[in-house]
């Protein structure tokens, strides 16, 4: 885990949809080499936070920086499609794979901005090592996979984009417990290999066990932040999110 400058820095952002304000001066940071988790209930604004960082939802106040460069501010910022080549990549909620394309075609869509064929093949081999089922089903249509396998495919596609920071939105949602465990183990392996990860997850216990640090988001505001192990035993987190 790094103690250097933040790779992703979100400062006082306000954002929403139409007349509804969802985020109220949210600030957080992710340092290189960390897994940071953002936990909170339904409607807290977790996905909106990621969509702001991805350049999809515009800011009404505040700013976002990635790798020392401002990428979002009021009235503008770096376009969403230009953030992926810079290494800021999101695995969206609901996976959003291409159901009528094969597993391999889905994976290669992640590499569409790259021009290093040897590197792409190396990363493809890495994905197949992480999720051997994808190699076995490389010619199968993505839409025929189970929910857990589709999540593996979405993560694999993101890896082919060569991320520097991987943002994951609810990777355990609607997935069988056995496959959730495999996905979280893969997240741990990716982090050990040097990948920085921002994880949005409703399964607070699993997320905090995986992460180095965590933030708690409630109704659009950060209410707690600390080392993940400390949050696991914090009475407020236990009462609200861990069922204790």
The pLDDT tens digits of the residues spanning 133-180 come to 999 999 999 989 988 899 999 999 999 999 999 999 988 888 888 888
Residue 174 lies in a domain: yes
Question: Which pLDDT score, from 0 to 100, does residue 176 have?
Answer: 83
Residue 97 lies in a domain: yes
Number of domain units in the chain: 1
Rounded mean pLDDT, 237-244: 77
Average pLDDT over the chain reads: 92
Residue 151 lies in a domain: yes
For residue range 175-221, list pLDDT tens digits in order.
888 888 888 999 999 999 999 999 998 889 999 999 999 999 999 99
Rounded mean pLDDT, 15-41: 96
Residue 223 has pLDDT above 60, yes or no: yes
What is the DSSP secondary-structure string of 126-158? HHHHH-HHHHHTTTSBGGGS-HHHHHHHHHHHH
Residue 227 lies in a domain: yes
The range of the structural domain enclosing residue 179 comes to 6-241
Q: Are 45 and 39 in contact (CB under 8 A)?
A: no
E strands, 40-188, where? Answer: 61-66, 69-73, 76-77, 88-91, 165-169
Q: What angle do CA 120, 124, 130 make, to 5 degrees?
A: 145
Residue 1 has pLDDT above 60, yes or no: no
For residue range 82-100, list pLDDT tens digits in order.
999 999 999 988 778 888 9
CATH no. for residue 190? 3.40.50.300
% the chain with pLDDT above 90? 76
Residue 1 lies in a domain: no
Residue 133 lies in a domain: yes
Residue 188 lies in a domain: yes
Residue 106 lies in a domain: yes
Residue 3 has pLDDT above 90, yes or no: no
């Amino acid at each position: 885990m790094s103690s250097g400058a933040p790779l992703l820095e979100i400062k006082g952002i306000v954002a929403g949809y139409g007349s509804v304000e969802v985020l109220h001066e949210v600030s957080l940071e992710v340092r290189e080499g960390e897994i940071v988790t953002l936990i909170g209930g339904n409607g807290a604004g977790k996905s909106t936070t990621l969509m702001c960082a991805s350049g999809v939802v515009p800011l009404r106040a505040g700013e976002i920086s990635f790798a020392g460069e401002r990428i979002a501010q009021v009235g503008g910022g770096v376009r969403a499609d230009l953030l992926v080549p810079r290494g800021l990549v999101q695995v969206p909620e609901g996976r959003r794979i291409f159901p009528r394309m094969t597993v391999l075609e889905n994976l290669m869509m992640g590499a569409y901005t790259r021009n290093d064929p040897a590197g792409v093949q190396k990363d493809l081999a890495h994905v197949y090592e992480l999720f051997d089922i994808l190699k076995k089903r490389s010619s199968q249509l993505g839409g025929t996979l189970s929910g857990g396998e589709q999540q593996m495919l979405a993560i694999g596609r993101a890896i082919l984009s060569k991320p520097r920071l991987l943002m994951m939105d609810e990777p355990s949602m609607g997935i069988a417990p056995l496959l959730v465990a495999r996905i979280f183990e893969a997240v741990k392996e990716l982090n050990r290999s040097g990948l920085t990860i921002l994880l949005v997850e409703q399964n607070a216990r699993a997320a905090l066990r995986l992460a180095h640090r965590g933030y708690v988001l409630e109704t659009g505001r950060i209410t707690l932040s600390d080392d993940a192990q400390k949050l696991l035993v914090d009475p407020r987190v236990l009462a609200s999110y861990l069922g204790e």
